[in-house]
């Protein structure tokens, strides 16, 4: 029970910290440069420049009806963490805006660093099992009422905001906003999937038993034996699958080719490896 309570506390701390980073991205990079990078924050940025109404409060005003519509249509799956994330992001945005100065007036720099910092913050929020509301809820509603997927719904919602920015600002700013969305999305993926890439190795060798023994005894890594056969020869083959860290790649290649110089190896990236020898499963 205590472990669950501590986990919940850590999750809310993560949502708070991630929301603060996202708000910082908005206040020092995106809002001052009129980059409306999709979502409720982008819509609030457009309204801010048209009416001078605070961005944070405007985000909350937009989010509240979306949230209640989502609960009514899709059920109460959004929960308290969504409400908390929505409020914290809005508060941080309006608190920081008068306190921090823009770091750059260069649109390209603002696009890159704003998108990366916002993506980092949102990635932390999502990893803490939270959300800041906005277009993810809109995307689920679009998915519910139409044949569009959630990904397509996100593209529609963000695309509408970028188009709006192009109408009220200019086409150049809208193009930069689209780049910001791409950078932010990629950063979110990196945070969620992990930065410490492991490597997956497939080894096809006529000396598979000797190679297997060397990997287990010398490299101290487990592996899986997959049954296959040659597409050209029709001969039965053992395919060895092994997950290793990046630092072990050179050592594994040398080990395999010392046993069998004719071995065939495929090495590819693994974004995240969970279990014994790698990250613990939460």
Q: What is the pLDDT of residues 73-99, one digit of tens each?
A: 766 655 778 888 889 999 999 999 889
Residue 134: per-residue pLDDT: 75
CA dist., res. 257 & res. 250, Å (int): 11
Q: What is the pLDDT of residues 4-54, one digit of tens each?
A: 667 888 889 999 999 999 999 999 999 999 998 888 888 899 999 999 999
pLDDT tier at 2, thresholds 50, 70, 90: low
Buried b (16+ CB within 10 A) or exposed e, 181-209: bebbbebbebbeebeeebbebebbbebbe
Confirm if 266 and 252 have CB atoms less than 8 A apart: no
* Three-state DSSP string of 155-195: HHHHHHHHHHHHHHCCHHHHHHHHHHHHHHHHHHHHHHHCC
Four-way CATH pick for 198-270: 3.30.1540.10, 3.30.70.120, 1.10.260.40, 3.40.50.2300: 3.30.70.120
Kindly calculate the radius of gyration of the chain based on its CA atoms and give it in whole angstroms.
24
Which pTM does this prediction carry?
A: 0.74
Domain boundaries, the chain: 2-193, 198-270
Given a cut of 90, is residue 72 above it in pLDDT? no
Residue 178's CB is within 10 A of a number of other CB atoms, namely 18
Q: Which of 5-9, 118-122, 157-161 has the highest mean pLDDT?
A: 118-122
CA dist., res. 110 & res. 31, Å (int): 10
Given a cut of 70, is residue 233 above it in pLDDT? yes
Given a cut of 70, is residue 250 above it in pLDDT? yes
């Amino acid at each position: 029970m205590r472990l669950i309570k501590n986990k919940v506390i850590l999750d809310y701390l993560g949502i708070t910290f991630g929301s603060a980073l996202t708000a910082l991205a908005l206040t020092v990079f995106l809002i001052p440069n009129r980059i409306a990078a999709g979502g409720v924050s982008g819509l609030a940025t457009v309204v801010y420049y048209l009416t001078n109404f605070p961005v944070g409060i405007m985000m909350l005003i937009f989010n509240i009806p979306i949230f209640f519509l989502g609960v009514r249509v899709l059920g109460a799956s959004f929960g308290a963490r969504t409400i908390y994330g929505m409020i914290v992001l809005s508060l941080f945005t309006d608190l920081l805006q008068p306190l921090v100065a823009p770091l750059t007036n260069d649109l390209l720099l603002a696009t890159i660093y704003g998108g990366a910092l916002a993506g980092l913050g949102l990635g932390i929020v999502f990893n803490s099992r939270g959300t800041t509301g906005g277009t993810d809820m809109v995307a689920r509603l679009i998915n519910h009422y139409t044949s569009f997927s959630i990904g397509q719904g996100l593209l529609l919602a963000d695309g509408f905001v970028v188009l709006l920015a192009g109408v009220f600002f200019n086409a150049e700013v809208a193009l930069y906003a689209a780049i910001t969305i791409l950078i932010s999305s990629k950063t979110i993926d990196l945070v969620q999937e992990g930065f410490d890439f492991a490597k997956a190795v497939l080894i096809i060798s006529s000396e598979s038993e000797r190679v297997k023994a060397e990997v287990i005894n010398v490299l101290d890594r487990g592996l899986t034996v997959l049954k296959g056969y040659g597409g050209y020869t029709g001969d039965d083959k053992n395919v060895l699958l092994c997950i290793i860290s990046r630092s072990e790649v050179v050592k594994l290649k040398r080990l395999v080719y010392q046993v069998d110089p004719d071995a065939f190896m495929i090495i590819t990236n693994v974004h995240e490896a969970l279990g014994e020898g790698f990250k613990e499963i939460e």
